[in-house]
Amino acid sequence: MRLLSLRLIISLIVGITLVSLGFSYQQVLLEKRSLRSELERRSEVLGLSLAQSVEKNMDSGSTAGRLQRVVNSFGNREHLLGVAVFDRQGAVLAISPALAFMLRVPPHQVTEAMAANQQQSSFFTLDQTRVHIFATPVHRQDTVVGAVALVHEVDYIHAQNLRTWRQAFLGILVQVFLIVLITLLIVRWSIAGPIARAAQWMRALRMGRISSRQQMPDLDLFKPLAWEVVTFAESLNQARNAAETEARLREAGESSWTADRLAVQIQSRLDGSRLFVVSNREPYIHSRNGKSIEVSVPPSGLVTALEPVLNACDGTWIAHGSGDADSEVVDSHNRLRVPPHDPRYTLRRVWLSKEEEEGYYYGFSNEGLWPLCHIAHTRPIFRERDFQIYQEVNRKFAAAVLEEIANTPKPVVLVQDYHFALLPRMIKEKRPDARVAIFWHIPWPNPESFGICPWQRQLVDGLLGADLIGFHIQSHCNNFLQTVDRVVESRIEGDHFAVLRQNHRTIVRPFPISVELADDESVFVPARYDTNYQERSALMHSLGVESAFLGIGVDRVDYTKGIHERFRAIERFLEKYPKYQGRFTFVQIGAPSRTHIKRYHDLLAEVEAEAERINWRFQSGKWKPILFLKRQHSHEEIEVYYRAADLCLVTSLHDGMNLVAKEFLAARKDERGVLILSQFTGAARELRDALLINPYDIDQTAEAIRIALEMEPEEKQMRVHRMRKVIRENNIYRWAANLVTELCELRLDPSDKTKPQHRGSVTAA
């Protein structure tokens, strides 16, 4: 820091001095020109006046004595050395005594003035004296008969320049001193101080005295540096926590999956290759807000699970660019490095037209496959045009994938969900050396139900292009294998849960997805329990409702979530147990979803009307039984409700997993609250300590609400503790690790080890 200050001082002194000298030089020149101009003007006025007097005296035949008196009368002017009058031949007619010894001969300005018959003015040195001479001709009847010369000394101009330089030098010294002093104070207060505080903060962080979550000292002047410091500190803290966790678990003989462990695991399994993820939803969305562009992360466990993997192997995520500013931030190849503040992998965006989005996403995917796979008594709608667009979009994504993996040997491609059932076959046909997996996030129905689809053969054949197909639970795997056996010609290897078709082997496995759960001891702390209920009181106050008990439900407004059944169960609960009227309030967070589809648009109105009907029947004063919050909520907002609730109600009529149940448990570090869970969710297979219900049985669900509210605290703690342990041991990172590891360890068929084919058009199976 001292060396920096010394360099800064020297630089300031040199810089300020040079700039000040430059300005002073210009000031001296201007002042010199001004003084000379003033002298020339005065000389001209005085000379013309003198010439007129001389002409009158010469016209009247005046003697030399008379001319001498005229000359002497002009001799007492400021800075005037003297005056001289010459005849046409250059002889002196009259001269001031001071000039008598200096002008023995007429200067050339005098002779030139008479010869040219015009005034002459110039600065020169006369007898080692700096002077200015002004010469003007004298006339008699328009004939030049002589000249008058006025000589001024100009040493005063030089003296004035020296005074100006002296004053400028003193001013420079004062300026340098003050500017250096002020700059050093600014550096100390605005730069050195914050840097010292940041260094102190990092030292404390390094020594483990504070957490990286504690606010960093203000570094507004160094925002890019500040961000890198915070990122570095967070990485350091995460590494320390990971090491401590690993050591604690190793001592206890346990293992826990973290983002860091996942990254190391996958990096070793990929063996130098790269991972390519394909999904409809992108991990980062760029949206325009006025003149600025904002980046948001959609609430998705998929981003949490797969980002550490992509970071570790510099992978690529290929997704539909849905943000209104997405196209403004990509390069010429529609690529973008993400995360925004710490780029570690590539996001490749695929653009869809309105027609493509209408047919592929809203049409075939969500009006056809979604209700087909969720046996929830909503008739699937299949249109020939929708399926054609679905094929076209799958081809478009396949072309993007093939372009991205063109120069990658043995690429690993992980396709996500029912939007891309045809994609595995398309990729495998062009790159048989690629390892391709698809994870189906929704249920797979029984063969009879799936047989409704007019294009079931194409869908199944497209999926069987993958080397690995993942579902949430084993029963979905069984349904898929039974569907394959009915729909396409193949050989089912029941013992290995594999399908052999066209000399290609596809493995079918369950990979139950989960959520992230912080690795804490989850020991019940009464203070934390009290804090949560204080938080609930504040929450209820903000909602304008008074209630002793709080229930929570979090869903997209979808007909598979059983929201109607949930509301009717609450109504039945209040009928059977009127003592809870005025004391129990249920908050339903319902994010509007796919309202572009008529069924979803109507459902939103139906759910709202049902809540209003029940509220009209039971509400009194400030209390109402159901609060329906129909807007998108961030994960942070929802967590407040999770922590404050006495129970969480999950009544899905059919669900692949349902992560809301696991998110509720992950938020309950106080080990309080009761989970009421539909038996038709994949989560019901793992969370056996939840109160399992049949959501169609309204009385059973109502009774479960009563049991949850009246359950002893010890039993609540025991149940939540066991379920949180299940989630901790099988978290989102373990899901990703199992899925990618299984794919990387598969032995490809000999026919799949051929060299990559040249890229060409992609055709549907």
Q: What angle do CA 686, 302, 407 make, to 5 degrees?
A: 130
Nearest to 146 by CA among 193, 106, 200, 191: 106
Kindly tell me if the per-residue pLDDT of 483 is higher than 50. Answer: yes
Three-state DSSP class for residue 145: strand
Kindly tell me if the per-residue pLDDT of 444 is higher than 80. Answer: yes
Please report which residue ranges of 253-380 form alpha helices under DSSP H.
Answer: 259-270, 301-313, 326-329, 354-356, 370-373
pLDDT single digits (tens) 209-254? 665 555 556 656 555 666 666 666 666 666 666 666 555 555 444 5
Give the pLDDT of residue 214: 56
Three-state DSSP class for residue 325: coil
Question: For residue 521, how many other CB atoms are within 10 A of its CB?
Answer: 7
Kindly tell me if the per-residue pLDDT of 428 is higher than 90. Answer: yes
Give the pLDDT of residue 386: 96
Give the pLDDT of residue 764: 37
CA distance linking residue 489 with residue 495, whole number of Å? 19
Q: What angle do CA 422, 428, 429 make, to 5 degrees?
A: 95
Q: Looking at residues 144-164, what average pLDDT do you find?
A: 86
Residue 606 burial by Cβ neighbours in a 10 Å radius (0-12, 13-18, 19+): middle
Give the pLDDT of residue 277: 96
User: What are phi and psi for residue 386, nearest 5 degrees?
Assistant: -60, -40
CA distances from 605 to 557, 564, 597, 609 (A): 10, 12, 13, 6
pLDDT-above-70 percentage for the chain: 87
What the block records as the tokens of 566 is 């949930």
pLDDT single digits (tens) 47-77? 888 888 888 777 655 566 778 888 777 767 7
DSSP 390-415: HHHHHHHHHHHHHHHTTT-SS-EEEE
Residues 477 and 439 sit within 8 Å (Cβ to Cβ): no
CA distance linking residue 337 with residue 296, whole number of Å? 15
Kindly tell me if the per-residue pLDDT of 297 is higher than 50. Answer: yes
Domains and CATH numbers, the chain: 2-159 (3.30.450.20), 266-350+391-514 (3.40.50.2000), 532-729 (3.40.50.2000)
Give the pLDDT of residue 765: 33
Residue 702 burial by Cβ neighbours in a 10 Å radius (0-12, 13-18, 19+): buried
Give the pLDDT of residue 755: 42
CA distance linking residue 659 with residue 667, whole number of Å? 12
CA-based end-to-end distance of the chain:
69
pLDDT single digits (tens) 726-755? 999 999 999 999 999 999 988 876 555 444
489 versus 758: which is more confidently predicted?
489
Residue 585 — very low, low, confident or very high, per pLDDT cuts 50/70/90?
very high
Kindly tell me if the per-residue pLDDT of 5 is higher than 80. Answer: no
Residues 431 and 402 sit within 8 Å (Cβ to Cβ): yes
Instruction: Say if strands 316-320 and 345-350 run parallel, antiparallel, or are unpaired.
Output: parallel
Q: Looking at residues 457-484, what average pLDDT do you find?
A: 97
Give the pLDDT of residue 663: 93
What the block records as the tokens of 429 is 């046909």
Give the pLDDT of residue 756: 41
Nearest to 40 by CA among 140, 144, 119, 143: 119
Which residues contact residue 521 at a Cβ distance below 8 angstroms, ignoring those fewer than 6 apart?
Answer: none
Kindly tell me if the per-residue pLDDT of 351 is higher than 90. Answer: yes
472 versus 248: which is more confidently predicted?
472
Instruction: Say which DSSP state 357 is in.
Output: I
pLDDT single digits (tens) 359-406? 999 999 999 999 999 987 789 999 999 999 999 999 999 999 999 999
CA distance linking residue 92 with residue 85, whole number of Å? 6
CA distance linking residue 428 with residue 16, whole number of Å? 70
Mean pLDDT, the chain, integer: 85
Three-state DSSP class for residue 754: coil
